[in-house]
Amino acid sequence: MPKTETDRDARRAAKRAVKDAERAGKETRKLASSLPEPARTKVKAAAKAEAERIDRAKKDAGSSPVTAKRAARRSSARLERVAVRYGTAAGTASSTGSPKKGSRSKTIKQQRAQVKQPSKMAVVSGLRTVFASITTPTDQERAKKTAKQRVRRMKAKQV
């Protein structure tokens, strides 16, 4: 039986959905590595379960593309929900406003960036504190400087 154009389109769409789901899985695993321990195990477990579903969808993409596409999209949606739940502070961010087509991995990537932000801020503030402690003069140095300025002013008045 010859393959029709619609069959080819359906298989292409299924393969595209599987690729998007694989990308979302990869981003979710990256997110899990940057999370603290209790959330890390939950996100890793969810990513592993969805990876198995994505593999099944990948195998089914040739024989039943519509089912494979639906399964892949469902997996990427689950991964996105897990990322939103554990990625931000108490899951306050929402993924409802994000466009649905091919952006689930981007949403997960944004969650990972939000998770990394506090640790980056801690490093920067620590560096600023160290720099300030090095460059800020001590009370003794400040007293010496004001004494010099007073002497200069007194000399300037005498002339």
Whether residue 139 is contained in a domain is answered as no
pLDDT at residue 120 above 50? yes
pLDDT at residue 1 above 70? no
Whether residue 146 is contained in a domain is answered as no
C-alpha span between 140 and 64 (Å, rounded): 81
Name the nearest CA neighbour of 109 among 19, 18, 23: 23
State the residue range of the domain holding 30.
5-126
Contacts of 15 (CB under 8 A, 6+ apart): 61
Q: What are phi and psi of 117, to 5 degrees?
A: -60, -45
Whether residue 58 is contained in a domain is answered as yes
Whether residue 97 is contained in a domain is answered as yes
Whether residue 29 is contained in a domain is answered as yes
Whether residue 157 is contained in a domain is answered as no
Query: What local confidence, expressed as pLDDT, does residue 73 receive?
Result: 94
**Domain count for the chain:** 1
Whether residue 51 is contained in a domain is answered as yes
Whether residue 152 is contained in a domain is answered as no
Name the nearest CA neighbour of 21 among 126, 101, 88, 90: 101
Percent of the chain with pLDDT over 90: 53
